Structure 1
Amino acid sequence: MGKKVTVVGAGFYGSTTAQRLAEYDVFETVVLTDIVAGKPEGLALDLNQSRPIEGFETKVVGATTGPNGEGYEAIEASDVVVITAGLPRKPGMSRMDLLGVNAKIVRQVAENVAKFAPAAVVIVVSNPLDEMTALAQIATGFPTNRVLGQAGMLDTARFSNFVAEALAVPVGDVRTLTLGSHGDTMVPVPSRCSVRGTPLAELLPAGQIDELVVRTRNGGAEVVALLKTGSAYYAPSAAAARMAKAVAEDSGAVMPVCAWVDGEYGISGVYLGVEAEIGAEGVKRVIETELTPSERADLLNAAEAVRAKQADITNL
């Protein structure tokens, strides 16, 4: 124990992430912060009162933060900081539509994280994901391995769920993978997908696999269109919490995440969705996985699309 994790932003995503992290019972403290006065403190009180029922000892602390860094002392000595702050999408919005407004928020949060939790591993979940991860690294000045983004875990989970439903099999029997960006240049990897070891291509016709790939790529927008008042948070928070747990436990778990790529796949100098080994220092190493020529080409295209957008964020 003795580990401390902070979740910045107490909206649906942040509060659900804090709940999952507390219920793991692997942290001594979960800190939840927000700019809405009293909201994180109220949620923390509520979560702490669930401890006798759910049987976990992790203490949840709420802290209201101000525009000039007020309240951020609560995050001191955090081992992991999950940044969920920012506006969610509304129906008809792309993730990129959030770039300007969320960049200001993420930059301010990242600067305070660097000041108050200089040894933390930072997990970014604010959209547009790949760009906000790059911005958080620039704003904190942290080594690239200590700043990573949550996307691939979520996109892969969506893909697996859709495959399980299409074949009426348990989700635990399905293995899928998505790489690339968290958006239009997402690269689901059908060659790495299987059900109980049988390649997906032997179980579903190519056209149906393509349909599932498209549905995965649009997975967030599908939820947004149905909710009308916000975006997904149950699956995204599960993904972010699992990443934070892997850091806290120094587990070496291999997960698809948004990580700094420096030579792998012949791609350098960009944050991109890849498989990586996760531990106490964040990304231990990027895993270069076998891809078909067309999947590799798609990943290179994704890298260049993300690189173009990440070049813009230094001015935001």
Structure 2
Amino acid sequence: MGKKVTVVGAGFYGSTTAQRLAEYDIFDTVVITDIVDGKPEGLALDINQSRPIEGFETLVVGKTTGADGAGYEVIAGSDVVVITAGLPRKPGMSRMDLLETNAKIVRQVSEQVARHAPDAVVIVVSNPLDEMTAMAQLATGFPRNRVLGQAGMLDTARFSHFVAEALSVPVGTVRTLTLGSHGDTMVPVPSRSTVNGKPLREVMPAEQIEELVVRTRNGGAEVVALLKTGSAYYAPSAAAARMARAVAQDSGEVMPVCAWVDGDYGISGVYLGVEAELGAQGVRRIVQTELDADELTALKAAAEAVRAKQGDVADL
């Protein structure tokens, strides 16, 4: 034990992530912070009162923080910091519509993380994801392997769910993969997707795969449109919590994440969705997978689309 994890932002995403992390019962402390006065303290109190029922010992600590950095001393010594702070999408908004607003928030938070938890691995979930991951790395000044983003785990989960639902098979029998960006240039990898060990292309017609790919790419927007206020948080928080657990346990699990790519797939100098081996220092290594020609072309196109936007965040 002796482990500490912080979740910055106590909205639905942050609070659900904190709950999942606490229920793993592998941390001494889960810290949750927010700028809304009293909200993180109230959530912490509520989650702590579930401990006798759910049977976990992890203590949740809530702390209201100020834009000036007041209260951030509570995160000192965190092994992992999950940044969920920022505005969620509203119906009709793209992830990119949030760029300027959330860049300011993520920059402020990242500077406080660097000050108070200089050894932490940072997992970014704020949108637009790829750009905010780049922003967090710039603002913390941390080595790039210690700053990563949550995207591929969620997109892959959505894709797998849609495949399982369409074929009426247990979700545990489906393996899918998505790479690229979190958004319009998401690159699904049907060549690496299987159902009961059989290639997806053998059990589902190409046009149906394409339909599910499009639905996966728009997975967040579909939830936003139905909810009308707020955005997805159950599946996203599950993904972020699993990533934080892999780091905390130095597990070496291979997961699709937003990581710094420098040479893999012939792509260099950009944060991009790839498979990576996770451990105590964040990304141990990028795991390069066999892609067919179309998939590789799409991944390179995604890298260039994201690169242009990541170049812009330095000025925000």
TM-score after normalising by structure 2 = 1.00
Quote the Cα distance in structure 2 between the aligned partners of 1:50 and 1:86.
27
Counterpart in the other structure of 1:95? 95
Q: Which runs of 5+ in 1 are unaligned?
A: none
Counterpart in the other structure of 2:208? 208
Counterpart in the other structure of 2:187? 187
Cα shift readout 1:152-202 (whole Å, capped 9, x = no counterpart): 000000000000001000000000000000000000100000011000101
Quote the Cα distance in structure 2 between the aligned partners of 1:76 and 1:249.
19
SS in structure 1 of the partner of residue 314 of structure 2: helix
Quote the Cα distance in structure 2 between the aligned partners of 1:284 and 1:169.
34
Counterpart in the other structure of 1:253? 253
Counterpart in the other structure of 1:63? 63
Give 1:165-176 correspondences, 5 Å limit.
165-176=165-176
What is the alpha-carbon root mean square deviation over aligned residues?
A: 0.3
Counterpart in the other structure of 2:267? 267
Q: CA deviation at 1:249?
A: 0.2
Quote the Cα distance in structure 1 between the aligned partners of 2:47 and 2:165.
33
Cα shift readout 1:121-155 (whole Å, capped 9, x = no counterpart): 00000000000000000000000000000000000
Quote the Cα distance in structure 1 between the aligned partners of 2:213 and 2:291.
16
Counterpart in the other structure of 1:142? 142
TM-score after normalising by structure 1 = 1.00
Question: Are 2:242 and 1:219 equivalent residues in the alignment?
Answer: no
Quote the Cα distance in structure 1 between the aligned partners of 2:239 and 2:144.
20
SS in structure 2 of the partner of residue 45 of structure 1: helix
Question: Are 2:38 and 1:33 equivalent residues in the alignment?
Answer: no
Q: CA deviation at 1:106?
A: 0.1
Quote the Cα distance in structure 1 between the aligned partners of 2:210 and 2:48.
45
Quote the Cα distance in structure 2 between the aligned partners of 1:253 and 1:196.
21
Cα shift readout 1:66-113 (whole Å, capped 9, x = no counterpart): 011000000000000000000000000000000000000000000000
Cα shift readout 1:249-304 (whole Å, capped 9, x = no counterpart): 00000000000000000000000000000000000000010000000000000000
SS in structure 1 of the partner of residue 278 of structure 2: strand
Counterpart in the other structure of 1:10? 10
Quote the Cα distance in structure 1 between the aligned partners of 2:211 and 2:102.
31
Quote the Cα distance in structure 1 between the aligned partners of 2:67 and 2:120.
21
Counterpart in the other structure of 1:129? 129
Counterpart in the other structure of 2:242? 242
Q: Which runs of 5+ in 2 are unaligned?
A: none
SS in structure 1 of the partner of residue 277 of structure 2: strand
Q: CA deviation at 1:225?
A: 0.3
Quote the Cα distance in structure 2 between the aligned partners of 1:103 and 1:158.
26
SS in structure 1 of the partner of residue 118 of structure 2: coil
Question: Are 2:228 and 1:228 equivalent residues in the alignment?
Answer: yes
Quote the Cα distance in structure 2 between the aligned partners of 1:98 and 1:171.
33
Work out the number of aligned pairs and report it: 316
SS in structure 2 of the partner of residue 123 of structure 1: strand
Quote the Cα distance in structure 2 between the aligned partners of 1:309 and 1:5.
30
**Matched residue type, 2:217:** R
SS in structure 2 of the partner of residue 165 of structure 1: helix
Counterpart in the other structure of 1:311? 311
The runs of at least 4 consecutive aligned structure 1 residues that moved more than 2 Å come to: none
Identity of aligned residues (%): 82
Quote the Cα distance in structure 2 between the aligned partners of 1:290 and 1:220.
27
Counterpart in the other structure of 2:109? 109
**Matched residue type, 1:45:** L
Counterpart in the other structure of 1:72? 72
